[in-house]
């Protein structure tokens, strides 16, 4: 067994690998960039070395050497499927905890991979995958295969560069755009064409191979709940497959792995017809640990990271196909720092409060803790909530409960979206396909009205936090004669609400808008009485005065602003332009004093390689410009203020 292993990754997967290394008594070395210096995976490591980038192979290998590591675990993403990095590790005297570089290369090229597995008897999607086809030849191949077809980059995955074509007239532009995106994402514009399987389900088989050539499969994972080809919820086993179908697909996956001399943990991904589950086709092989590996661990009772490490260390784990039995059902939801109501734009910020759900069969894989900053530079996944149950129905129910009990304040997440998805009748029934989420997306992302109790709680929590012992400091509307209402202009999700209070900080008469005032009182930490009902919630007040309220997996960021803007020109909301995500200001298109039209580009903000143009919400004059090119901005930070035409 190794004495020291370097983890060439960050976030939740680095923490996950550290957990197994600690159980094995192996020292864990972290590498980190400057903005991750205070992250949990760095704090938890036995040793940590700063590097310029997680893609800097030379720096990672140098860090391994200086820290005395004997092996490198790449996790997933970054350099995990980089054959050059695997070879560089070997040349540096390090063990790469993963498959041979030759297997990574063979399966990294989709055209070559299809040819290899087809020769091994593995079913592949009908199509054309010759290298060097020009645009006209690709179009002819698509018509020969028969529409609808899927255009796919040969050199990469993750949904980038994929185009679904149903109409012959769409082929020229679809081919051109697929090539452009593939060239940008992977440096290779080679495109292959495959028949599109209607009502497709994405089912993958977990395989594991030792260094002596023994390969087994560990059952399947259902990964059909996706948005833009990115997985959201995964489960094991699939509700579609019978035991006989599982064994056939498992045997096929084993054959595919053996065809490239695979060693370690890997995944064979299949596309399966929801209408004809006996019809399945090879899509690709992931030559690494998968994000969704925990659901397999929960139903097989195998630690896949431990198996990876033991095989890389030269051991031969006692694994056999006959002894690999699936127990119960496991389901996983990916928690992202993103805002579904704003087109899933990445959020980010500092975790002000974090409470994870308890439970004997609830597992949280995460890389964040209370007080940590979530950067917009990396993938927005911040945690995975995994639940095991005796049955699928039990697992789905308990996952929903766990998500409802997951409270994270300070950063917007997709938890509410996940709960809505789990409640869909198709999901409850296990009637899934890869297009389901997109078909019902408007229902899943519809912005719900802000509950009155949230506004009441925010107004009282903020008032209480600002009130000292001196009665003259109290914002309670007291005056000689009779109490006056104190107005609060509260902003939630870009909408403005007028809330009026009178009374003591924690107990008041409270009116929302033009409604009649009703009693409201803080009955204790996280408890509110409002309009004759009691509410329990979690809350915290950020340093900037924003009140974060959380309940049942939903969060509301409520801030109070002045009722008029600088100069009194633009009413709050209408002429205020805010950043839709935390990120960097790429460009400022106007100057103070400029006259602008509605819809005119004002500022461009970038995060996670996504650009978002903020446009003028009204025609008028730029009264204030807070944005500066190159500056970092927070979610909802004011970028500019516009005095509408005719404003004072």
Give the confidence band of 570 by pLDDT, cuts at 50, 70, 90: very low
| d(C-alpha 46, C-alpha 276), whole Å | 51
Q: pLDDT tens for residues 423-440? A: 999 999 999 999 999 999
More confident residue, 52 or 464: 52
How many beta carbons lie within 10 A of that of residue 242, not counting itself?
Answer: 11
| d(C-alpha 587, C-alpha 236), whole Å | 46
The pLDDT of residue 158 is: 65
Residues in CB range of 479: below 8 A, 6 or more apart: none
The pLDDT of residue 565 is: 39
| d(C-alpha 66, C-alpha 283), whole Å | 40
Which tokens belong to 93?
């005297």
Q: Provide DSSP, 315-372.
A: ------TTT----SEEEEEEEESEEGGGTTEE--EE--EEE----TTEEEEES--TTP
- Mean local confidence (pLDDT), 481-497: 79
Q: Which residues pair with 374 in a beta bridge?
A: 349
| d(C-alpha 100, C-alpha 187), whole Å | 23
Q: Which domains does the chain have, with CATH numbers?
A: 4-97 (3.40.50.20), 126-195 (3.30.1490.20), 200-445 (3.30.470.20), 452-560 (3.30.700.40), 566-644 (2.40.50.100)
Give the confidence band of 175 by pLDDT, cuts at 50, 70, 90: very high
> How many helices and strands in the chain, by DSSP H and E?
17, 40
Query: Is the pLDDT assigned to residue 584 strictly greater than 50?
Result: yes
Give the confidence band of 569 by pLDDT, cuts at 50, 70, 90: very low
DSSP-based three-state secondary structure for 460: helix
Give the confidence band of 562 by pLDDT, cuts at 50, 70, 90: low
Least confident of 42-56, 601-615, 618-632: 601-615
Which tokens belong to 323?
């002894």
Give the confidence band of 609 by pLDDT, cuts at 50, 70, 90: low
Note whether 125 and 139 are within 8 A (CB): no
Distance of CA 480 to the CA centre of its chain: 55
| d(C-alpha 381, C-alpha 594), whole Å | 40
The pLDDT of residue 568 is: 37
Q: pLDDT tens for residues 368-415? A: 999 999 987 888 999 999 999 999 999 999 999 999 999 999 999 999
Average of per-residue pLDDT values in the chain? 91
Q: Which residues pair with 596 in a beta bridge?
A: 620
Query: Is the pLDDT assigned to residue 129 strictly greater than 80?
Result: no
Q: Provide DSSP, 51-100.
A: -S-TT-HHHHHHHHHHHT-SEEE--SSTTTT-HHHHHHHHHTT-EESSS-
Give the confidence band of 173 by pLDDT, cuts at 50, 70, 90: very high
Query: Is the pLDDT assigned to residue 545 strictly greater than 60?
Result: yes
| d(C-alpha 447, C-alpha 286), whole Å | 36
Q: pLDDT tens for residues 4-53? A: 999 999 999 999 999 999 999 999 999 999 999 999 999 999 999 999 99
pLDDT > 70: percent of the chain: 94
Q: How many CA atoms lie within 13 A of 363 on its CB side?
A: 20
Q: Is 243 exposed, middle or buried (0-12, 13-18, 19+ CB in 10 A)?
A: exposed
The pLDDT of residue 206 is: 98
Q: pLDDT tens for residues 58-104? A: 999 999 999 999 999 999 999 999 999 999 999 999 999 999 999 99
Note whether 68 and 28 are within 8 A (CB): no
Q: How far from 550 is each of 29, 409, 468, 506, 531, CA to CA, in Å?
A: 36, 7, 25, 19, 19
| d(C-alpha 104, C-alpha 257), whole Å | 11
Tell me the helix, strand and coil percentages in the chain, rounded to 5. Answer: 30, 35, 40
The pLDDT of residue 608 is: 65
Query: Is the pLDDT assigned to residue 471 strictly greater than 60?
Result: no
Query: Is the pLDDT assigned to residue 475 strictly greater than 70?
Result: no
The pLDDT of residue 467 is: 58
Long-range pairs, 542-545, Cβ under 8 A, ≥24: 542/352, 542/410, 545/462
């Amino acid at each position: 067994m190794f004495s020291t292993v370097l983890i060439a990754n960050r976030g939740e997967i680095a923490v996950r690998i550290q957990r197994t290394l600690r159980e094995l008594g192996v020292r864990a070395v972290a590498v980190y960039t400057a903005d991750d210096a205070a992250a949990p995976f760095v704090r938890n490591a036995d040793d940590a070395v700063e590097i310029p980038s997680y893609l800097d192979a030379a720096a990672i290998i140098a860090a391994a050497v200086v820290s005395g590591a004997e092996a490198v675990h790449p996790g997933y993403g970054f350099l995990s499927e980089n054959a050059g990095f695997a070879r560089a590790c070997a040349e540096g005297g390090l063990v790469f905890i993963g498959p041979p570089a030759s297997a990574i290369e063979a399966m990294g090229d989709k055209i070559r991979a299809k040819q290899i597995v087809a020769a091994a008897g593995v079913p592949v999607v009908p199509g054309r995958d010759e290298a060097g086809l020009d645009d006209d030849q690709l179009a002819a191949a698509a018509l020969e295969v028969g529409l609808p077809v899927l255009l796919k980059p040969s050199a990469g995955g993750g949904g980038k560069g994929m185009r679904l074509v149903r109409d012959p007239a769409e082929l020229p532009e679809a081919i051109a755009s697929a090539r452009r995106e593939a060239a940008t994402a992977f440096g290779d514009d080679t495109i292959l064409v495959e028949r599109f399987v209607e009502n497709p389900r994405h089912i993958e088989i977990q395989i594991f191979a030792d260094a002596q050539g023994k390969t087994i499969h560990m059952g399947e994972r259902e990964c059909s709940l996706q948005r833009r080809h990115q997985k959201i919820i995964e489960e094991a086993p699939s509700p579609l497959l019978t035991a006989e179908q599982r064994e056939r697909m498992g045997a096929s996956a084993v054959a595919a792995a053996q065809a490239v001399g695979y060693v370690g943990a890997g995944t064979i991904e299949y596309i399966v017809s929801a209408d004809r589950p006996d019809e399945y086709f090879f899509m690709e092989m992931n030559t690494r640990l998968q994000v969704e590996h925990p659901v397999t661990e929960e139903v097989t009772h195998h630690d896949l990271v431990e198996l990876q490490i033991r095989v890389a260390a030269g051991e031969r784990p006692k694994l056999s196909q006959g002894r690999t039995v699936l127990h119960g059902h496991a389901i996983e939801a990916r928690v992202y720092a993103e805002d579904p109501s704003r087109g899933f734009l990445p959020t980010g910020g500092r975790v002000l409060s974090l409470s994870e759900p308890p439970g004997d069969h609830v597992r949280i894989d995460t890389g964040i803790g209370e007080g940590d900053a979530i950067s917009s530079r990396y993938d927005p996944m911040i945690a995975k909530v995994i639940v095991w149950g005796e049955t699928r129905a039990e697992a789905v129910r308990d996952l929903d409960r766990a998500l409802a009990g997951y409270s994270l304040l300070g950063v917007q997440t997709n938890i509410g979206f996940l709960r809505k998805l789990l409640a869909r009748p198709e999901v409850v029934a296990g009637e899934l396909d890869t297009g389901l989420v997109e078909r019902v997306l408007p229902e899943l992302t519809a912005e719900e009205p802000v509950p009155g109790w949230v506004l009441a709680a925010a107004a009282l929590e903020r008032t209480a936090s600002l009130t000292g012992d001196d009665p003259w400091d109290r914002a309670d509307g007291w005056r000689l004669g009779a109490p006056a209402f104190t107005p609060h202009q509260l902003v939630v999700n870009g909408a403005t609400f007028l809330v009026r209070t009178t009374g003591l900080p924690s107990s008041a008469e409270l009116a929302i808008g033009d409604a009649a005032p009703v009693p409201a009182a803080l009955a204790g930490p996280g408890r509110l009485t409002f309009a004759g009902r009691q509410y329990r919630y979690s809350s915290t007040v950020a340093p900037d005065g924003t009140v974060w309220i959380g309940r049942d997996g939903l969060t509301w960021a409520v801030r109070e602003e002045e009722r008029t803007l600088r100069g009194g020109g633009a009413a709050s909301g209408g002429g205020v332009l805010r950043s839709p995500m935390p990120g960097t200001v790429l460009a400022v298109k106007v100057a103070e004093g400029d006259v602008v039209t509605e819809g005119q580009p004002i500022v461009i903000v970038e995060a996670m390689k996504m650009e978002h143009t903020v446009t003028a919400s009204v025609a008028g004059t730029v009264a204030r410009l807070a944005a500066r090119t190159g500056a970092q901005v927070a979610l909802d930070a004011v970028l500019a203020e516009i005095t509408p035409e005719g404003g004072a």
